[in-house]
Amino acid sequence: MRGEFGTAYALATKKIVTDGVDIFLDYADGDLARVGRAGVEQNKVPVDAIVEMWLAGDSPKDVGYEYDLDPEQVEAICRAAQRVPA
């Protein structure tokens, strides 16, 4: 990333945006390109992993136990992920 943007602070640039699930690069011509998956900051777990466990039938309590999150955090992550179009 540093080489691509020519700065040691590439992740702080306004050319990188997120919709809460995916991370996008904003190119000069206005096109967006997906570059990665969003994760939970406190434990670096991909949002997809949390949502997939929940969709498979695990309770928010069980998912939270697996990833060191409160059940309320798991529920909020899953609700937010459902609002973002695939």
* Domain identity same for 25 and 43: no
Structural domains of the chain, count: 2
- State if pTM tops 0.75: no
- 55: tokens are 């969709």
* Three-state secondary structure call for residue 26: strand
* Domain identity same for 29 and 48: no
Kindly report, residue by residue over 24-69, the tens digit of the pLDDT.
665 655 565 555 667 787 777 888 899 999 999 999 999 999 999 9
The pLDDT-based confidence of 81 (bands split at 50, 70, 90) is: confident
Burial 39-53 (b: 16+ CB within 10 A, else e): ebeeeebebeebbeb
* Domain identity same for 13 and 43: no
What pLDDT shows up at residue 47?
85
d(CA 70, CA 76): 10
Name the β-bridge partners of 32. Answer: 26
* Domain identity same for 43 and 27: no
Angle formed at CA 39 by CA 33 and CA 79, multiple of 5 degrees: 95
* Domain identity same for 45 and 81: yes
* Domain identity same for 33 and 43: no
Per the structure, the complete domain to which residue 27 belongs is given by 1-37
What pLDDT shows up at residue 38?
72
